[in-house]
Amino acid sequence: MSVILAIAFIFCIILARFFYIQVVWGRELVWRATDQWNREIPVIAERGLITDRNGKVLAGNRPTYSVFVRPNAVENREYAATVLSGVLGVDAAQLLEKLNSDKVSEITVARQVEKQDIEKLVSYGLSGVYYAGDNTRVYTYGEVLCQVMGFTSSDGSGVTGLEKYYDSVLSGQNGEIMYTTDIVGVETEDSTIVYRQATGGDGLRLTIDVDIQLSVEDALRSVYSSSGAKSVSCIVLDPQDFGVLAMANYPSYDLNDVPREDTDLLNELSRNCLVSDIYEPGSTFKIITAAADIEEYLSGNPNAFSTSYIFNSSRTRTVGGTTIKCWSDHANGKHTAQTLAQALNNSCNPCFTDIALALGTDTFYEYLTAFGLGNVTGIDFSGEALGMLVPQSLVRDCDLARIGFGQTVAVTGLQLACAAAAAVNGGNYYTPHLLKSIVSSDGSTVEEYQPVLKQRVISEKASRMLAEMLEGVVSDGSGKKAYIEGYKVGGKTGTAQKYEDGHIAAGKYVSSFVGFFPSDNPQYLALVIVDEPQGAYYGSTVAAPVAHEVFNDIIKIKNIQPFG
């Protein structure tokens, strides 16, 4: 009886194993067997186009080819290495070493090879050498928008910028060419070739307006040359939904000739400073302080200052052992009696120290948080910095006083631009974005971006009052060099000393200007940052004229008529 049970048990094990092999493991075994007798050459999918908001192509493709070698199918390896080296420029000795290795069944010799080189290669009739279509990314405007667009690797995948962020959208699905080989990988005489077509990726339509972008980049090159600055940056936003109309940093590089061999240089030039780097904003930050004061006054806070309040005429304030001075010496009675509007015009620091201290840490920090300070904006771009905001629990009066006029706080250019836009657009803070829509290869819309309202920072009334005051800064105050006759331009200048190792760096400044127009219904907002200009360094003299130039060009590009 025990023998019968043992036989039955063994039979059951064999039957179970047979079932597993045939049913459970069967598909994989068939695939493995097929794979031993078939070889595939990848066909790279065409990468999706990137266009500006008006459909102008920013990134496209040029048809090129990839070259592969199957060592087992090569008849004369030394000759093949010599020919491939001569045509494709690869190292013959290194290639021959790979051909003689038994560790690889296929070698990728080169990618993005031009058609004429493939034709030359085909004329040699080399056995074991194959080619398949791929694509070379082509950037229509070269260095324009380079830190935003980013670039791709030799295999066509995104490495930086939007090319990386939206790589899964742009990449598509690769195809393949499959053919039958013998056991050592040599194509059989009766080989059946199967071609699976690649599916191209979807395209991106950006919020960028390339005509405005070109204007911005021209203006940045000009101020970079004239000021001797270390670097210059500019972002132009649509204040109504925070779509990015232009974003540029200079120096830059050519996307069609990426300096891949110099890693340090490439990292420096490809960095989008407006998103990834922080700086102490200085007086442009006073927009946020003024917005908080106006809103609190309208809300009935007795600690807030009215728009008619006359600030203390002294040019200094001493807070916690720290003395804060107005840049003006107040000689001959100048700047001694100032309302909030006049304090903005004159950019007098002590007045904004008064506001911050009067509102107090809790209230002021509510506004700083609402305006996005110390947090990412959420833009569709990798590597966004948080900024620096002293933790509320650790803020001393002297810190609060300095934050009021833009010191002891650090922001990204994008953060400040968004905060300023929310302050003057009616009080609405949106998530900034570079994507307008995703489109298929036939041009139909796959997905349309919908603006995201994150929060309301101040009331519409407060926003209108502030915008009117900032119009006065341009018409009568420190922002005069951004003034355009017949157009309502508002703005605020900023000049901040730089710090190194915790100390003021002598002679090093960040000059900036944030402006918008028309001030009664903002459609365009620009932030200009000039890092370490030589000679003249005030934001009013270095940065404001750049915004003037950009706004003038926008007026011409969009054919915007003067008011009245």
| Dist CA 196 CA 198 (whole Å) | 7
Tokens of 347: 């950019």
How many helices (H) and strands (E) are present in the chain, helices listed first?
A: 19, 22
Catalytic option among 283, 347, 463, 512? 283
Neighbour count for residue 42 (Cβ, 10 Å): 18
Task: Give yes or no: 283 in active site.
Answer: yes
Which one-letter DSSP state was computed for residue 100? T
Tokens of 522: 């903002």
Classified as helix, coil or strand, 95 is: helix
Contact 51, 204 (CB under 8 A): yes
Q: Which residues contact 301 (CB under 8 A, 6 or more apart)?
A: 359, 363
Residue type, 358: A
Classify burial at 367, counting beta carbons within 10 Å of its beta carbon; exposed 0-12, middle 13-18, buried 19 or more. buried
Look at strands 316-319 and 322-325 and give their pairing: antiparallel
| Dist CA 181 CA 454 (whole Å) | 59
Contact 57, 140 (CB under 8 A): yes
Among 279, 286, 355, residue whose Cα is nearest residue 529: 279
| Dist CA 390 CA 379 (whole Å) | 23
| Dist CA 242 CA 429 (whole Å) | 8
Tokens of 394: 């650790």
| Dist CA 51 CA 44 (whole Å) | 21
Count, residues in the chain:
564
Tokens of 160: 């930086």
Classified as helix, coil or strand, 139 is: strand
Alpha helices in 407-543 (DSSP H): 413-424, 460-476, 539-542
Catalytic positions, please? 283
